[in-house]
């Protein structure tokens, strides 16, 4: 097992059977420890001890989709819906900039209220006011022409998780109106346009098998995203998956580590979901290969409404107000929060 991890470290390659062995390693085993150690070593080789920060602005919890796992699915009538105006979003960016953020992530449900033109206006205003910042969008599936307009307005990056790369599994997590082929098409469109692209999946989503996860890793190898976000599935009480089991902490950590070794140059966040299932989840993620954190920059009164899953952390370390604590904690672990834009490095950069 140790030599298998060494092979992955050296070559970024393993066959499916070997990946399976790593994904299914025993919690706290010496092999798992070694996997974590090597992932951290690889991260330091490429990105040093730096942790990039992104200011997350959750612009709307309206969503036209009805994903079975998600708390803001349209058929959940118990959500108090909100959306931020252009002015409010710019206000968030202003506050974030003063705190040192140089990437803003505008994330939202698929809310048809924002026209393409409106999104473009917001993006170009942020870019005009803060030319040294990157703007990341995470607004779901759109036509290629819309993505192109966003890009032309100055958006640098786009996050869209594929959620699961296997058709049958995708159908169990989504209503029939949603198609995995469409999701994949969106991701390749985004790549082609020139966005830095982020994708990813939930660990422990209902019906997920190890073979599903391997397919996810293979899909990511095909896509070659600059950013990869994963987090444990967490049930939400107002969804059909309310009684399903939560994703496993250790399995999620092993996958963060495996991702770091398979994709040495990728930007990998230690996600809010990870920080929500364990007190030190976010720190653990950073110690096994993750190099990005995305504190919440949304106005405080709406933070509790952007509830994709229950017990979502939105205060303390998960919020911008906790930035100084986060700095101290990560420092104690031997890392350093930096305020650079934090674009993905490539093999060429390192040569």
Closest distance of CB 227 from ligand 5AD, Å: 13
User: Bridge-partner residues for 105, per DSSP?
Assistant: 56, 136
Structural contact between residues 79 and 303, judged by C-beta atoms closer than 8 angstroms: no
Q: Which residue, 148 or 252, is less far from ligand 5AD as judged by CB?
A: 252
Q: Which residue, 8 or 72, is less far from ligand 5AD as judged by CB?
A: 72
Between β-strands 134-138 and 157-159, what pairing exists: parallel, antiparallel or unpaired? parallel
Q: Which residue, 8 or 234, is less far from ligand 5AD as judged by CB?
A: 234
**Distance separating alpha carbons of residues 166 and 313, to the nearest angstrom:** 30
Closest distance of CB 163 from ligand 5AD, Å: 6
Closest distance of CB 282 from ligand 5AD, Å: 15
CA distances from 270 to 53, 165, 188, 191, 203 (A): 11, 21, 24, 23, 13
Closest distance of CB 15 from ligand 5AD, Å: 27
Q: Which residue, 43 or 236, is less far from ligand 5AD as judged by CB?
A: 236
Between β-strands 50-53 and 292-293, what pairing exists: parallel, antiparallel or unpaired? parallel
Closest distance of CB 70 from ligand 5AD, Å: 4
Structural contact between residues 213 and 255, judged by C-beta atoms closer than 8 angstroms: yes
116-129 and 144-152 helices, crossing angle to 10°: 20
Q: Which residue, 231 or 295, is less far from ligand 5AD as judged by CB?
A: 231
Structural contact between residues 50 and 302, judged by C-beta atoms closer than 8 angstroms: no
Q: Which residue, 230 or 319, is less far from ligand 5AD as judged by CB?
A: 230
User: Bridge-partner residues for 103, per DSSP?
Assistant: 134
Q: In what order do the strands lie in the sheet with 292-293?
A: 292-293, 50-53, 336-338
- Comparing every residue's Cβ against ligand 5AD, the nearest one is 309
Helix ranges (DSSP H) in 70-115: 86-99
Closest distance of CB 7 from ligand 5AD, Å: 30
Strand (E) or helix (H) holding 232: strand 227-232
Q: Alpha-carbon Rg of the chain, whole angstroms?
A: 19
The contact set with ligand 5AD (CB under 6 A) reads 69-70, 161, 163, 202, 231, 233-234, 236, 273, 308-309
Closest distance of CB 285 from ligand 5AD, Å: 14
Q: Which residue, 236 or 260, is less far from ligand 5AD as judged by CB?
A: 236
For 277, other C-beta atoms within 10 Å of its C-beta total 20
């Amino acid at each position: 097992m140790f030599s298998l991890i060494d092979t992955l470290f050296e070559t970024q390659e393993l066959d499916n059977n070997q990946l399976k062995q790593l994904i299914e390693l025993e919690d706290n085993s010496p092999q798992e420890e070694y996997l974590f150690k090597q992932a951290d070593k690889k991260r330091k080789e490429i990105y040093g001890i730096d942790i990039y920060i992104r200011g997350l602005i959750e612009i709307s919890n309206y969503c036209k989709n009805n994903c079975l796992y998600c708390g803001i699915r349209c058929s959940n009538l118990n959500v108090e819906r909100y959306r931020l105006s252009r002015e409010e979003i710019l206000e968030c960016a202003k506050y974030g900039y003063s705190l040192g953020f140089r990437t803003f992530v505008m994330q939202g449900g698929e809310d048809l209220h924002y026209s393409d033109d409106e999104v473009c206006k917001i993006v170009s205003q942020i870019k005009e006011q803060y030319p040294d910042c990157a703007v990341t969008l995470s607004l779901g599936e759109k036509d290629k022409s819309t993505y192109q307009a966003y890009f032309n307005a100055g958006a640098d990056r786009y996050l869209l998780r594929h959620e699961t790369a296997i058709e049958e599994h995708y159908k169990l997590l989504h209503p029939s109106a949603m198609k995995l082929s469409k999701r994949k098409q969106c991701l390749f469109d985004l790549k082609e346009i020139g966005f830095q692209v982020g994708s990813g999946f939930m660990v422990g989503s209902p019906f997920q098998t190890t073979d599903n996860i391997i397919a996810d890793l293979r899909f990511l190898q095909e896509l070659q995203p600059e950013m990869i976000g994963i987090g444990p599935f967490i049930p939400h009480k107002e969804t059909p998956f309310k009684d399903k089991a939560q994703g496993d902490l250790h399995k999620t950590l092993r996958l963060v580590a495996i991702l770091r070794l398979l994709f040495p140059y990728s930007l990998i966040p230690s996600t809010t979901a990870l920080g929500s299932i364990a007190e030190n989840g976010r720190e653990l993620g950073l110690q096994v290969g993750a190099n990005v954190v995305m504190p919440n920059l949304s106005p405080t009164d709406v933070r509790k409404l952007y509830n994709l899953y229950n017990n979502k952390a939105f205060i303390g370390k998960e919020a911008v107000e906790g930035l100084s604590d986060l700095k101290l904690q990560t420092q104690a672990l031997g890392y350093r929060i930096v305020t650079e834009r934090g674009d993905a490095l490539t093999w060429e950069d390192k040569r």
